[in-house]
Amino acid sequence: MRKAERELAGWGRFPRARCDAARPERFAEAVAGFSASSAANGICLYGAGRSYGDCALNGGGTTLITSRLDRILAFDAATGIVQVEPGVDYRRLLEIFLPRGWLAPVTPGTGFATIGGAVALDVHGKNHERDGSLGQQVTELDLVSPDGSARTITPLDSDLFRATIGGVGLTGFITRIALRLARVPGGQVRVRTQRCADLDAFIAALQDAAGAAYTVGWIDGAARGSALGRGILETAEPIAGDFTQPPERARRVPVEFPAMALNRYSIAAFNEAYFRRVPAAGRTRDTPWRSFLYPLDALHDWNRIYGKRGFVQFQCVVPFEAGPRAVRELLEVISASHKASFLAVLKRMGAGRAGFLSFPMPGLTLALDFPRRPGIEELYARLCAITLNAGGRVYLAKDALLDAASFRLMYPEFSQFAEVRRSVDPDCRISHDMARRLRLQDAA
Amino acid sequence: MSAPPTWLILGASSAIARAFARQAAAGGANILLAGRDDDDLQRTAADISTSYNVAARVEKFDAVDFAGHATLAASLADLDGVLNVALLFGIMPDQAAMDADPSLALACLDANVVGAISILHRLAPLLEARRAGTVIGFGSVAGDRGRLKNYIYGASKAALHTYLAGLRNRLGRSGVHVMTVKPGFVDTAMTFGLPGMFLVAQPSDVARACLAAAAQKRDIIYVPWFWWGIMTIICAIPERLFKRLKI
């Protein structure tokens, strides 16, 4: 397995880490390379680089890039269970299985994410309240431990399974995933779009839409005063019809934007235009699955818009009881800071989760991008404090700046995770920058 | 309905071969994956048959097991439908390592030249008799000029280019088309981590360009296409000057 010194980053392009990276194309080579690793900082797994922060970065250690382990191994049309190598991505699942009437049951907002990474972060989608997290659809995993031993685990192996789903890659190398796809009646969804004038209207509209199959709210993070929390609510239902998707017309952001391109005025202008794009009376349109699920995938390398310094995404969930007040407080801090970027996302979450370190809890989830500028650490810490105070938590798939003490308070099942993790990797031969920052490998 | 065509992919474990096999299968062809790493090729075969509803099978093949080449060729004699061949195997040992150990240089030539001629020369009569089919041979821009950093590998590919040109002439008389592909830098295990890579193409782009060019019966293509310009310039440098360059 050839290694090369590489600087890797997540989708936020902050932080960056220099490591010895290998990108095996053959299965046996990948497994052998994983268990032979003996770098001081251990080895970590990296898929497509679509998580935002440092959960797949391993400065000073070894990184095994799984993107070329990308084969679909089997599909059972009777049960809908597909078996894949970890580097298969959501785009490929959609390309191959949508024409047959099957879709990934749970998907994040980009089709470039790998299934291995999605399981390791127990991702959720716009249908979380109804369909739960991805890990709940996983029926089997092959897991290779750092000592090279391989085992197959199922939800019946409850502790190891729950430590591995959402376990940020720290219990072993997931080499095969079996998961249930979902039946869909056609290639399109009927999307209903409506404006919400302020936060109260928004939260009420989200509640009214709780029965919808898919729900997502775009919120204007720059709005203040009486417009605070205004945005656009999208709900969608699958519709019957044929499965063909229009050809993809992708564009690429050719260069890194200069730092000054994004400022409070350009962002406020963009958000205003985006808000006005939807007629005041709302509208209904039929949209192909691909553009509904992955609207930003048509703009390749969009993270370059944030320039060389990159950006940070903050995503939290707060329980329903404290939710509206906490979200208002978060938005007030954010809009006063003038640091928010384009649209943010506000939606409801249900209880579905499959791992000890899974993110979801019933409540409201808010996600915003911040260009990395001076003062961002303080702002992020403030947002974390408000979240914690409301009994919520921050999403590890997006995080680059949380502190270890807050992490412990946000994730009460950490002690169960820590116990299982220690039993499968006592010498911490797997590790990464997030594990060191959040002390994920300490005793409970 | 007539039987679908089959692509025999020689050296099927590489990233370009995998991408090529998928795209050929997406077009409806059956796939024979020929190579040494049986376990890994079985995974690719599963991927292709699951994804594209075509037949995909693994054939044991080693570029330097010349005796085995006759067996493989004989086993294909009765195949239904058009037989196409993509020759994608090759090794690229480090030039300095080959300078220090000439046996490595011979191994490179054995695989890239002798192995290629051995298998294609056994398949040639079969293709002539079937009077149809396409052969795609993967050479390299490195074969266009002997460079200090890579001239053994380059020499092996230059020999392959010459062989393919002759084979094109021969098989063309029987309605079999032979295309030479000269890839530039492609993002594969062969080039991962090597210094000095630029304008690196993705394997899927290379595969797409090859299948499109083969359908148009092109003879020699550079992929990506702009390598034609780069190599024209490199080949135009007078030898007197070129021999002092370190490119």
* In a domain? residue A143: yes
* In a domain? residue A381: yes
Q: Which residues in chain B touch residue A73, judged by CB atoms under 8 angstroms apart?
A: 43, 46-47, 50
Task: With beta carbons less than 8 A apart as the criterion, state whether A55 and A168 touch.
Answer: yes
By Cβ distance, the residue of B13, B14, B193 closest to A4 is B193
Task: With beta carbons less than 8 A apart as the criterion, state whether B167 and B120 touch.
Answer: yes
Kindly provide the b/e burial profile for residues B37-61, where b requires at least 16 CB atoms within 10 angstroms of the residue's own CB. beebbbbbbbbbbbbbebebebbeb
Q: Considering only CA atoms, which of A184, A134, A182 is closest in space to residue A289?
A: A184
Instruction: List Cβ neighbours of A103 (8 Å cut-off, separation of 6 or more).
Output: A93, A94, A97, A181, A182, A183, A184, A289
Task: With beta carbons less than 8 A apart as the criterion, state whether B2 and B189 touch.
Answer: no
Would you state the pLDDT for residue A274?
Answer: 83
Would you state the pLDDT for residue A416?
Answer: 97
Coil vs helix vs strand at B195: coil
Q: What is the pLDDT of residues A95-140, one digit of tens each?
A: 999 999 999 999 999 999 999 999 999 999 999 999 999 999 999 9
By Cβ distance, the residue of B13, B18, B192 closest to A23 is B192
Q: What is the CATH number of the domain that holds A161?
A: 3.30.465.10
| Contact flag B189-A96 (C-beta cutoff 8 Å) | no
Domain locations along chain B: 6-242
Q: Is the dihedral of CA B80, B17, B11, A30 positive or negative?
A: negative
Q: Which residues in chain A touch residue B39, judged by CB atoms under 8 angstroms apart?
A: 27-28
Q: Residue B1's pLDDT band (boundaries 50, 70, 90)? A: low
Q: Which residues in chain A touch residue B192, judged by CB atoms under 8 angstroms apart?
A: 2, 4, 22-23
Mean pLDDT of B134-162: 97
| Contact flag B51-A72 (C-beta cutoff 8 Å) | yes
Q: Which residues in chain B touch residue A19, judged by CB atoms under 8 angstroms apart?
A: none
Instruction: List Cβ neighbours of A407 (8 Å cut-off, separation of 6 or more).
Output: A394, A414, A438, A439, A440
By Cβ distance, the residue of B43, B188, B189 closest to A71 is B43
Task: With beta carbons less than 8 A apart as the criterion, state whether A44 and A63 touch.
Answer: yes
CA A239 to chain centre: 26
* In a shared domain, residues A283 and A309: yes
Coil vs helix vs strand at A439: coil
Task: Look at residue B198 and tell me whether its pLDDT is greater than 80.
Answer: yes
Count of other CB atoms within 10 angstroms of residue A43 = 26
In this structure, what token pair is assigned to residue A32? 């052998």
Q: What is the CATH number of the domain that holds A389?
A: 3.40.462.10
Q: Is the dihedral of CA A37, A40, A45, A49 positive or negative?
A: negative
| Contact flag B50-A72 (C-beta cutoff 8 Å) | yes
| Contact flag A26-B40 (C-beta cutoff 8 Å) | yes
By Cβ distance, the residue of B13, B43, B194 closest to A73 is B43
Q: Which residues in chain B touch residue A25, judged by CB atoms under 8 angstroms apart?
A: 13-15, 18, 188-189
Q: Which residues in chain B touch residue A68, judged by CB atoms under 8 angstroms apart?
A: 15, 189
Window B:118-147, CB contacts with A under 8 Å: none
* In a shared domain, residues A84 and A145: yes
* In a shared domain, residues A175 and A201: no
In this structure, what token pair is assigned to residue B57? 């099978």
Among the three residues A126, A159, A184, which one is the final residue of a domain in this structure?
A184
Between CA A96 and CA B25 the distance in angstroms is 12
Question: How distant, in Å, are the alpha carbons of A51, B72, B84, B105, B150 from that of B116?
Answer: 43, 13, 15, 16, 19
* In a shared domain, residues A306 and A192: yes
Q: How many domains does chain A have?
A: 2
Write down the ipTM of this complex: 0.94
Backbone angles phi, psi at A323, to 5 degrees: -55, -60
Residue A8 φ/ψ region, left for φ over 0, alpha for ψ in the -120 to 50 degree band, beta for the rest: beta
* In a domain? residue A64: no
Among the three residues A129, A153, A184, which one is the final residue of a domain in this structure?
A184
Between CA A368 and CA A214 the distance in angstroms is 20
Q: Which residues in chain A touch residue B188, judged by CB atoms under 8 angstroms apart?
A: 25
* In a shared domain, residues A259 and A386: yes
| Contact flag A24-B189 (C-beta cutoff 8 Å) | yes
* In a shared domain, residues A322 and A358: yes
Between CA B226 and CA B183 the distance in angstroms is 10
Task: Look at residue B105 and tell me whether its pLDDT is greater than 60.
Answer: yes
Would you state the pLDDT for residue B223?
Answer: 95
A27 Cα to chain B: minimum distance (Å): 6
Which residue in this structure is represented by tokens 């920058």? A433
In this structure, what token pair is assigned to residue A335? 């809009």
Between CA A414 and CA A279 the distance in angstroms is 46
Between CA B174 and CA B133 the distance in angstroms is 10
pTM, to two decimals: 0.95
Task: Look at residue B60 and tell me whether its pLDDT is greater than 70.
Answer: yes
Task: With beta carbons less than 8 A apart as the criterion, state whether A307 and A258 touch.
Answer: yes
Mean pLDDT of B126-133: 96
* In a shared domain, residues A319 and A366: yes
Best mutation target among B44, B47, B194 (most A Cβ atoms within 10 Å) is B47
A203 lies in which domain range?
188-402
Would you state the pLDDT for residue A261?
Answer: 79
A7 Cα to chain B: minimum distance (Å): 12
- Number of alpha carbons in the 13 Å side-chain half-sphere of residue A3: 16
Q: Which residues of chain A have pLDDT under 70?
A: none
Task: With beta carbons less than 8 A apart as the criterion, state whether A171 and A146 touch.
Answer: no
Between CA A81 and CA A99 the distance in angstroms is 16
* In a domain? residue A16: no
Between CA B165 and CA B142 the distance in angstroms is 17
* In a shared domain, residues A145 and A219: no
* In a shared domain, residues A200 and A158: no
Q: Does A248 touch chain B (CB under 8 A)?
A: no
Question: How distant, in Å, are the alpha carbons of A134, B21, B184 from that of A320?
Answer: 22, 51, 56
Among the three residues A162, A184, A206, which one is the final residue of a domain in this structure?
A184
Q: Considering only CA atoms, which of A90, A88, A87, A37 is closest in space to residue A66?
A: A87
Q: Does B51 touch chain A (CB under 8 A)?
A: yes
- What is the DSSP secondary-structure string of A215-263? EEEEE-TT--GGGTT-EEEEEEEEE-S--PPPPP--EE--SPPPGGGS-
Task: With beta carbons less than 8 A apart as the criterion, state whether A231 and A217 touch.
Answer: yes
Between CA A244 and CA A99 the distance in angstroms is 7
Q: Give B132: exposed, middle or buried? Use CB within 10 Å, 0-12, 13-18, 19+.
A: middle
- What topology does CATH give the domain B6-242? Rossmann fold (3.40.50)
Coil vs helix vs strand at A305: helix
Task: Look at residue B194 and tell me whether its pLDDT is greater than 90.
Answer: no
Between CA A274 and CA A218 the distance in angstroms is 9
- Closest alpha carbon within chain A to B16: A25
Backbone angles phi, psi at A351, to 5 degrees: -90, -10
Task: With beta carbons less than 8 A apart as the criterion, state whether A131 and A19 touch.
Answer: no
Task: With beta carbons less than 8 A apart as the criterion, state whether A393 and A410 touch.
Answer: yes
Between CA B229 and CA B222 the distance in angstroms is 9
* In a shared domain, residues A165 and A106: yes
* In a shared domain, residues A161 and A243: no
* In a shared domain, residues A205 and A350: yes
Q: Considering only CA atoms, which of A382, A361, A423 is closest in space to residue A164?
A: A423
